Amino acid sequence: MSRLAGRSPDPLEILARYPREQVERLLRIPNERLHRDVAEIAELAKPSSLFVHTGSPEDREYVRRRALERREELPSKHPKHTVHFDGPRDLARDKANTRILVAGGREVPLVNTLDRDAGLREVAKLLEGVMEGREMLVAFYLYGPLGSPFTLYGVQITDSAYVVHSEDILYRNGYSAFAERGGGIEYMLFVHATGALDENGWCREVEKRRVYIDPEGNATYSVNTQYAGNTVGLKKLALRLAVYKGFREGWLAEHMFIVGVKGPGGRISYFTGAFPAGCGKTATAMIADTVVGDDLALVRELEGEARAVNPEVGMFGIIDDVNPEDDPEIYRVLTDPEAEVIFSNVLLTEEGDVWWRGKPGEPRKGLNYAGPWWPGKLDEQGREIPPSHPNARFTVSVRHLAKLDPRIDDPLGVPVSAFVFGGRDSTAWPPVEEAFDWDHGIATKGAALESERTAAVLGKVGEVEFNPFAILDFLPISPGAFAELHFRFARRLRKVPKVFGVNYFLRGRDGKYLAEKRDKRVWLKWMELRVHGDVDAVETPTGRVPVYEDLRQLFDRELGKEFSERLYEEMFAVRIPQQLAKLERVLAIYERIPDSPPLLLEILREQGKRLKELRAERGDWVSPFALDKR
Ligand code: SPV
Ligand code: MN
């Protein structure tokens, strides 16, 4: 059976058109389905040559060289640092044209779907002859550590050496595993074609950009785009396939970091954390004591414990505002000439320097995401073009991080003590709060996650966007179903992780942020102590917050900072009208989703009741001192 509507000719006949050495590399993997997939895409896209990546150092070098030869990447003054530009109309994930293919075109709440047959027909058409005159690259990756029960397998087919170069940095190579396991491997297939380019090397037909996810076929297709979030299969395309698989099998694929936090006596506790964009996810990962991952987590039950692995070994991080004071570790890695880095959509100066907003020094004449750039350059509307784009990024291996957790490659992952959810919330959530139990946390922290729009995004500043589990953009199933999966998941656990909500963006009565950037470390350390029952907490209608004295000591010990009772009171007061407003917004959404679990609705409603009772008793804002029963 062919994947994309059409006939299914003899794969060997098609492959025979390509160099024997490359075909033999493919045939060394004894998996007929794979041979058919590669042949089918070749037959459709008609590349003039084929490269099959074995993961050898020579092949890695070949991919890097091809990216430079094809000018998908440009050299900088450091041989290991290259620069990629996506083009001004292709700088981010394309939400509107990213669709989940669903048989019969059935609607899924809050998910952008498309009839599967129609979608496959459309991409088949877009792929026709799209690689003519180009080389098709086939590469194999592991989505997780080698030899691990968590690990999924991926095959990338693309005509972009930049995509494969990125994957070589971000994922473990899987060619040997494929060759050894052969026919037994069930793999995710990622097909990408860059499409027609203009004279700048940017996609010419971005209006025909399509990113289609086919969970039923365990495959994804993207065309007419270069931005890594649309093209690098193992990044966010795989995440959707993994969520779908996990939903069926009872495990979690999450848009979460994994970090280690040290506690008394040298113990280490692992947390996973979900934050919508711009809410401090990477910053939290970097301020923790060890880093397992900064973006993705696969979480499974093993012998009654929740355990997590990072399917990646690299970071595709936002570089905007990365500076030596706030992000010393990332800054050090990005300026280390020995670290292999792909910079995207930064400024490449005529001297071959890379510059982005936040890097010390002044930007100088060069090339950026919109072409040649000079200080003061204006766009067609007369607005100044910034030297680097707000979504400029870096691609680098985590192995350069000094804080890399030694268990990054552990096939059994790390035990998860806590799930942390954080949004940008000026008004309601306290800086840190523990849920009463797993279900309460899943309902009122994970499923209820929202984030305020910042000035950088269209729409009213301060308006809130619903982003459950920080994964809404990547869900192939309804948020109700994803919440239900979390409830179901914990029923199999003997040791259930704690759940926390954090909020770095709470403002005081004067409108100013109450917490400083580095305070994150205190919240992490407090959560670590709570995981082990080492400190008490104050019960509020929405969860448990720190006792003043514990925070005072932590601020002193971790940051050498005084922490006043007045600040504590303003940070941790129960802000009842704001909490209720939030709850009602979220409840209204889940009430409209047919498959919202009744348990979720019940927990949200009960929280509303508790808040109203407290308001009747004590008014709108209730001091944590008033609730401290000890
Ligand atoms: C995100 O937007 O959450 C990212 C970058 O991590 S992307 O790969 O574009 O999704
Ligand atoms: Mn992400």
Q: What percent of the chain has pLDDT over 90?
A: 95
The preferred substitution site among 235, 243, 319, 389 for testing ligand 1, maximizing ligand atoms within 8 Å of CB, is: 235
Rounded-to-integer distance, Cα 550 and Cα 538, Å: 11
pTM of this prediction? 0.97
Tokens 């010393």 -> residue: 328
Nearest to 19 by CA among 138, 173, 153, 187: 138
With a CB cutoff of 8 Å and minimum separation 6, the contacts of 259 are 270, 271, 273, 284, 285, 288, 289, 290, 291, 292, 405, 524
Ligand 1 closest atom vs CA 93: 9
Nearest to 354 by CA among 391, 326, 392: 392
Q: Which residues of 132-141 are buried (b: 16+ CB within 10 A; e: fewer)?
A: eebbbbbbbb
| φ, ψ (nearest 5 deg) of residue 136 | -100, 130
Nearest CA to ligand 1 atom 8: 229
pLDDT, average across residues 289-309: 98
Rounded-to-integer distance, Cα 101 and Cα 108, Å: 11
Q: How many beta carbons lie within 10 A of that of residue 21, not counting itself?
A: 10
Ligand 1 closest atom vs CA 92: 9
The pLDDT value given to residue 138? 99
Nearest CA to ligand 1 atom 9: 229
Distance from the CA of 262 to the center of ligand 2, in angstroms? 25
Query: Which parts of 572-629 are beta strand (E)?
Result: 574-575, 621-622
Q: How many beta carbons lie within 10 A of that of residue 331, not counting itself?
A: 18
Rounded-to-integer distance, Cα 400 and Cα 414, Å: 20
- Whether the CB-CB separation of 8 and 160 falls below 8 Å is answered with no
H helix count then E strand count, the chain: 19, 33
Nearest CA to ligand 1 atom 10: 229
The preferred substitution site among 95, 98, 236 for testing ligand 1, maximizing ligand atoms within 8 Å of CB, is: 236
| pLDDT reading at 458 higher than 80 | no
Ligand 1 closest atom vs CA 227: 9
Instruction: Report in angstroms the alpha-carbon separations of 175 from 53, 61, 147, 413.
Output: 7, 16, 13, 22
Ligand showing the shortest atom-to-Cα distance for residue 391 = 1
Rounded-to-integer distance, Cα 115 and Cα 41, Å: 21
Q: What percent of the chain has pLDDT over 70?
A: 98
Rounded-to-integer distance, Cα 417 and Cα 419, Å: 7
The preferred substitution site among 231, 316, 449, 469 for testing ligand 1, maximizing ligand atoms within 8 Å of CB, is: 316
The pLDDT value given to residue 184? 84
**Helix, strand, coil content of the chain in percent (nearest 5):** 35, 25, 40
Distance from the CA of 624 to the center of ligand 1, in angstroms? 37
Structure tokens of 601?
């609705």
The preferred substitution site among 254, 295, 315, 471 for testing ligand 1, maximizing ligand atoms within 8 Å of CB, is: 295
Rounded-to-integer distance, Cα 533 and Cα 531, Å: 6
| φ, ψ (nearest 5 deg) of residue 295 | -140, -40
Give the dihedral of Cα atoms 263, 268, 274, 275; nearest 10 deg. 50
| φ, ψ (nearest 5 deg) of residue 341 | -135, 135
Q: Locate CATH 3.90.228.20 in the chain.
A: 252-313+408-627
Q: What residues line ligand 1, using a CB cutoff of 6 Å?
A: 93, 228-229, 235-236, 277, 295, 316
Domain 252-313+408-627 architecture:
Alpha-Beta Complex (3.90)
Distance from the CA of 292 to the center of ligand 1, in angstroms? 18
Ligand 1 closest atom vs CA 235: 8
User: How many residues are present in the chain?
Assistant: 630
- Whether the CB-CB separation of 343 and 367 falls below 8 Å is answered with no
pLDDT tens string 364-379: 999 999 999 999 999 9
pLDDT, average across residues 42-67: 98
Nearest CA to ligand 1 atom 2: 277
445: Cα within 13 Å, side-chain hemisphere = 32
| pLDDT reading at 445 higher than 90 | yes
Q: Locate CATH 3.40.449.10 in the chain.
A: 11-70+94-249
| pLDDT reading at 594 higher than 90 | yes
Ligand showing the shortest atom-to-Cα distance for residue 234 = 1
Ligand 1 closest atom vs CA 232: 8
- Whether the CB-CB separation of 239 and 233 falls below 8 Å is answered with no
Rounded-to-integer distance, Cα 111 and Cα 480, Å: 11
Query: Which parts of 116-217 are beta strand (E)?
Result: 135-143, 152-158, 172-173, 187-193, 210-214
pLDDT, average across residues 42-63: 98
Ligand showing the shortest atom-to-Cα distance for residue 296 = 2
Q: For the domain with range 11-70+94-249, which CATH number is right: 3.40.449.10, 3.40.190.290, 1.10.10.10, 2.40.30.10?
A: 3.40.449.10
The pLDDT value given to residue 9? 77
Residue 2 banded pLDDT, cuts 50, 70, 90: confident
Distance from the CA of 229 to the center of ligand 1, in angstroms? 6
Helix axes 576-592, 598-618, angle to 10 degrees: 160
Structure tokens of 495?
């040791």
The preferred substitution site among 84, 86, 93, 220 for testing ligand 1, maximizing ligand atoms within 8 Å of CB, is: 93
Residue 463 banded pLDDT, cuts 50, 70, 90: confident
Ligand showing the shortest atom-to-Cα distance for residue 230 = 1
The pLDDT value given to residue 469? 98
Distance from the CA of 236 to the center of ligand 1, in angstroms? 7
Nearest to 239 by CA among 163, 155, 307, 296: 296
Nearest CA to ligand 1 atom 7: 229
The pLDDT value given to residue 564? 98
Nearest CA to ligand 1 atom 5: 229
- Provide the β-strand partners of residue 222: 192, 211
Rounded-to-integer distance, Cα 207 and Cα 115, Å: 20
Rounded-to-integer distance, Cα 319 and Cα 344, Å: 9
Q: What is the mean pLDDT of the chain?
A: 96
pLDDT, average across residues 15-28: 98
Ligand showing the shortest atom-to-Cα distance for residue 95 = 1
Ligand showing the shortest atom-to-Cα distance for residue 315 = 1
pLDDT, average across residues 41-58: 98
pLDDT, average across residues 498-510: 97
Structure tokens of 374?
């000079």
The set of catalytic residues is 279
Distance from the CA of 295 to the center of ligand 2, in angstroms? 5
Residue 289 banded pLDDT, cuts 50, 70, 90: very high
Nearest CA to ligand 1 atom 6: 295
Rounded-to-integer distance, Cα 376 and Cα 399, Å: 38
Instruction: Report in angstroms the alpha-carbon separations of 365 from 89, 435, 444, 512, 630.
Output: 22, 52, 49, 37, 63
pLDDT tens string 518-550: 999 999 999 999 999 999 999 999 999 999 999
Ligand 1 closest atom vs CA 393: 5
pLDDT, average across residues 135-153: 98
Distance from the CA of 467 to the center of ligand 2, in angstroms? 13
pLDDT, average across residues 212-234: 98
pLDDT, average across residues 612-617: 98
Amino acid at 417: S
Nearest CA to ligand 1 atom 3: 277
Distance from the CA of 278 to the center of ligand 2, in angstroms? 10
Nearest CA to ligand 1 atom 1: 277
Query: Which parts of 310-375 are beta strand (E)?
Result: 314-318, 341-344, 347-349, 354-355, 366-368, 371-373
Nearest to 622 by CA among 581, 579, 583: 579
pLDDT, average across residues 373-388: 96
Residue 432 banded pLDDT, cuts 50, 70, 90: very high
| pLDDT reading at 455 higher than 80 | no
Q: ∠382-207-318 over CA atoms, to 5°? A: 65
Nearest CA to ligand 1 atom 4: 229
3-state secondary structure of 421: strand
Rounded-to-integer distance, Cα 491 and Cα 341, Å: 42
- Whether the CB-CB separation of 208 and 221 falls below 8 Å is answered with no
| pLDDT reading at 1 higher than 90 | no
Structure tokens of 433?
């709060």
DSSP string, 440-464: HHIIIIITT-EEEPPTTSSS-TT-E
Distance from the CA of 145 to the center of ligand 2, in angstroms? 20
The pLDDT value given to residue 454? 65
pLDDT, average across residues 76-98: 96
What is the greatest pairwise CA distance in the chain?
80
Distance from the CA of 199 to the center of ligand 2, in angstroms? 31
Q: How many beta carbons lie within 10 A of that of residue 152, not counting itself?
A: 24
The pLDDT value given to residue 460? 65
- Whether the CB-CB separation of 192 and 163 falls below 8 Å is answered with yes
Characterise 460 by phi-psi region: left (phi > 0), alpha (psi -120 to 50), beta (else): beta
Query: Which one-letter DSSP state was computed for residue 573?
Result: S
Nearest to 195 by CA among 173, 212, 210: 210
CATH superfamily, with its number, for domain 316-400: Phosphoenolpyruvate Carboxykinase, domain 2 (2.170.8.10)
Rounded-to-integer distance, Cα 152 and Cα 142, Å: 6
| pLDDT reading at 457 higher than 60 | no
Distance from the CA of 86 to the center of ligand 1, in angstroms? 15
